[in-house]
């Protein structure tokens, strides 16, 4: 994934020297590179949380330093946000495929009825 991002960074370098503005470069950076990192983030981030996330953050900070984008958000922020969105979708929507994997919801009334005398 980082190899593909590095090759796409070359496109940004050519565009920067062709006279693109920083806002245009940021749009290109988001569409070419960040879309690559954010695709299926919920799946791969739980497996590669340590070293790989740090390498992606280093890559994004380098792109910010070289002037290919004007914003930087750590990958951990994206991971937390996307996990929270996924969890909210699962617990709200009974038609969600992962909803069946949730434990049945318990209430205090049923809890105390089971522990009766």
DSSP letters for 65-116 = HTTS-S----HHHHHHHHHHHHHHHHHH-TTSTTGGGSPPP--HHHHHHHT-
**What digits encode the pLDDT tens for the residues 100-117?**
888 877 666 655 666 655
Domain ranges of the chain: 2-74
Taking residues 29-56, what's their average pLDDT? 86
Phi-psi region of 105 (alpha: psi -120 to 50; beta: other; left: phi over 0): beta
Two structure tokens written together for 40: 């299926």
At 28 the pLDDT is 95
Give the span between the Cα atoms of 68 and 111, in whole angstroms. Answer: 57
| Structure-model confidence comparison of residues 113 and 13, the more confident one | 13
**What digits encode the pLDDT tens for the residues 48-82?**
667 788 999 999 999 999 999 999 999 889 988 98
């Amino acid at each position: 994934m980082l190899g593909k991002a590095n090759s796409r960074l070359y496109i940004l370098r050519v565009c920067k020297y062709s006279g693109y503005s920083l806002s245009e470069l940021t749009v290109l950076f988001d569409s070419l590179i960040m879309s690559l990192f954010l695709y299926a983030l919920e799946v791969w981030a739980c497996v590669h949380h340590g070293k790989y996330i740090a390498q992606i953050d280093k890559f994004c900070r380098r792109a910010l330093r070289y002037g290919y984008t004007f914003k930087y958000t750590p990958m951990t922020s994206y991971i937390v946000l996307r996990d929270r969105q996924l969890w909210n979708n699962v617990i709200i929507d009974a038609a969600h495929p992962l909803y069946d994997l949730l434990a049945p919801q318990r209430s205090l009334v049923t809890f105390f009825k089971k522990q009766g005398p």
